[in-house]
Homo-oligomer: A and B are copies of this chain.
Amino acid sequence: METNNILIKNSIILNPKATGTVDEYKSSLLIENNKISLISEDIEDSNADYIIDAQGKILMPGLINTHSHIPMTLFRGYADDLNLDTWLNDYIWPIESHLNSETIYNGTMLGAIEMIKSGTTTFSDMYFYMGDVAKAIGKAGIRGVLSYSMIDFGDEQKRENEFKESISLIKNHHNTYDGRITTMFGPHSIYTTSPELLRRVRKEANKYNLGIHIHMNETQKEIDDCMDLRGIRPFEYLDDLGILSDDIIAAHCVWLSDNEIDLIKKYDVKVSHNPCSNAKLASGIAPISKLIDNGICVSIGTDGSSSNNNLDMFEEMKFTALLQKAQTLNPEVLSAERTLSLATINGANALGLENLGSIEEGKLADIILINTNRPNFSPINNNTCSNIVYSANGSNVDSTIVNGEILMENRKLTNLNETDILKNANETIDEMIKLKD
């Protein structure tokens, strides 16, 4: 639903800060075009074209998912409880060979409505056919930071193709759909790319003034292989290549040496923590409370649906906090407030989107409303932020607004046909499995 000025009345505003605290107060809020223009208890109805009565509802920034592979929602439940080799060789790679523009579009639309319905307004993605992902996300209305997943395995011709694809994505889609779609370079990982590719990524990223999204230090095996091959650890290798900088978002970072933590801190590399995926694939538990203590910017990602298996950032927040407490045997680490900041303002900082991630006048209107009138959210007065992180799930999201546009209200999608999208996604994967078998 497109409206110009939206007044949200009488909500409880939760405003997370990068310091790990959260402001909470009752107020109304005015959206003009795509921005939060006024936060005040006294806003006249006459200022608005559309009014939402949010009495008893929580208003907070939309959640920011900093690492995903959105078309993989098609593979939800397709391969589970397997070791990584079997999972990749016997399931994921064979089925991925049947992807095309249409299947990618249908998978992306499924992921997009799952995100809208669970309160995620921005995601940072890395996959193939990213032009089709851009097209779907453009239509869906959420915000995407898209990277083409570059893999050369040392092959020069393949490398040329990967830059062609990446630069085509950037030229055709960067800063499109009112700025909702932006792009990054996406070298897949150090074990799937050559040093030549990584060095050139740095050059091109500087030239286009874009960030770099990469998988780092996900498994113990990745570290061992790097040590065997190069005698140094993955972040030390990137340092040697001279590509570390504050525009890198490094997904996973499960296995880190103290020296690597120092490098991440020194270069202000951004870390995307993916606790469900790391647990489900048995990669391990990333030491993010240690990273946070070191002042490193940690945000949260779901990874793809085939290793999670959903895109619910509420669940991901709970996993984040609880896993750190279990691992450190300290219940005080990763408070609810701190955890909420990782999924909002830190996500915005990680992606270089300074005009997102908190509720402030002048920022972009990416906002969700939470219905507190639910058993799992009651009592409501004990601690709002605790309820958000420890008790809620995506189904508690009542309304989702992105760039000033209402994408869901009272759990009904306003612009998209949910029935058709689910039907298309189901038919798509059924057909792909037939082709594979």
- A220 / chain B contacts, CB cutoff of 8 Å: 329
Contact A381 B310, CB 8 Å, known A82-B332, A373-B422:
no
- A280 / chain B contacts, CB cutoff of 8 Å: 321-322, 325, 331, 390
Contact A309 B387, CB 8 Å, known A422-B375, A426-B378:
yes
Contact A83 B375, CB 8 Å, known A381-B429, A381-B430, A429-B382:
no
- A390 / chain B contacts, CB cutoff of 8 Å: 77, 80, 280, 308-310
- Provide the bound-state CA to CA distance between A421 and B421, in Å: 36
For A113, give its contact among B73, B285, B375 (CB under 8 Å): B375
Map CB proximity to B onto A303-338 as digits: 1 under 8 Å, 0 otherwise. Answer: 001001111100100110111011011111011100
Tell me whether A75 is interfacial, beta carbon within 8 Å: yes
Find the residue from A73, A220, A278, A318 having the highest chain B CB count within 10 A. Answer: A318
CB neighbors of B among A258-288 (8 A): 276, 278-285
Map CB proximity to B onto A201-230 as digits: 1 under 8 Å, 0 otherwise. Answer: 000000000000000000010000000000
Map CB proximity to B onto A332-355 as digits: 1 under 8 Å, 0 otherwise. Answer: 101110000000000000000000
**Number of residues in A with C-beta < 8 Å to the partner?**
76
Map CB proximity to B onto A20-46 as digits: 1 under 8 Å, 0 otherwise. Answer: 000000000000000000000000000
B330 touches A114 (CB 8 A): no
For A381, give its contact among B84, B117, B426 (CB under 8 Å): B426
- Provide the bound-state CA to CA distance between A108 and B179, in Å: 49
Tell me whether A100 is interfacial, beta carbon within 8 Å: no
Tell me whether A294 is interfacial, beta carbon within 8 Å: no
- A422 / chain B contacts, CB cutoff of 8 Å: 373-375, 378
Q: Which of A5-13, A155-163, A391-399 contacts B (4 or more CB under 8 A)?
A: A391-399
- A75 / chain B contacts, CB cutoff of 8 Å: 382
A282 touches B325 (CB 8 A): yes
Tell me whether A135 is interfacial, beta carbon within 8 Å: no
For A380, give its contact among B276, B309, B394, B426 (CB under 8 Å): B426
B375 touches A114 (CB 8 A): yes
B81 touches A282 (CB 8 A): no
Tell me whether A297 is interfacial, beta carbon within 8 Å: no
Given known contacts A76-B379, A310-B391, A393-B395, what 12 new A-B pairs fall within 8 Å (CB)? A76-B378, A77-B379, A80-B383, A81-B335, A84-B331, A110-B375, A117-B376, A278-B326, A279-B323, A281-B331, A309-B390, A395-B395
17 A-B residue contacts at CB 8 Å? A76-B386, A76-B391, A77-B382, A80-B336, A81-B334, A81-B336, A84-B331, A276-B318, A276-B322, A280-B325, A280-B390, A281-B331, A282-B328, A282-B331, A284-B326, A309-B391, A312-B376
In the A-B complex, list the 7 residue pairs whose CB atoms are closest, starting with the nearest: A395-B395, A77-B383, A77-B382, A114-B375, A279-B326, A279-B322, A77-B386
